[in-house]
Amino acid sequence: MTWAWRRLLATGGTVQVAALAEAVGWSRRHLGERFRDEFGLSPKAAAMVLRFERSRRLLERPARRGLAEIAVTCGYYDQAHLTRDWRTLAGCTPTAWMAAELPSVQDTPLHAGAS
């Protein structure tokens, strides 16, 4: 189980559950049951959380990329997939979250000496 968790972490949640199961020599169902018993989430749900967290960190960067590029980087099929996971886990779209949580240019204090 530790290996499967570390593999999920190392891939940012992009490894397929079938590949994890094959690597440990179990069926997907058996892996899912053991993983859920150990960590409280299925491997698929844990992967979703890891992808979400990675996308959130990328969105927080000052020089962030577009949502489509972030989606691909984080292992989503497309931007719509990213948005669905955001609605599930954050209760809003990434765009709505950025508007509510990230400082806007207007909120940035002026540098000393600037008028």
Q: Which residue has the tokens 């719509």?
A: 80
- The pTM score is 0.84
Integer Cα distance of 73 and 85 in angstroms: 15
Amino acid symbol at 67: L
What local confidence, expressed as pLDDT, does residue 64 receive? 83
* Mean pLDDT for the stretch of residues 86-98: 96
67 exposed, middle or buried (CB, 10 Å; 0-12, 13-18, 19+)? buried
Provide the residue count of the chain.
115
Which CATH number is 2-95 given?
Answer: 1.10.10.60
* Mean pLDDT for the stretch of residues 73-87: 96
pLDDT one-digit tens code per residue, 18-72: 999 999 999 999 999 999 999 999 999 999 999 999 999 999 988 888 999 999 9
What local confidence, expressed as pLDDT, does residue 102 receive? 84
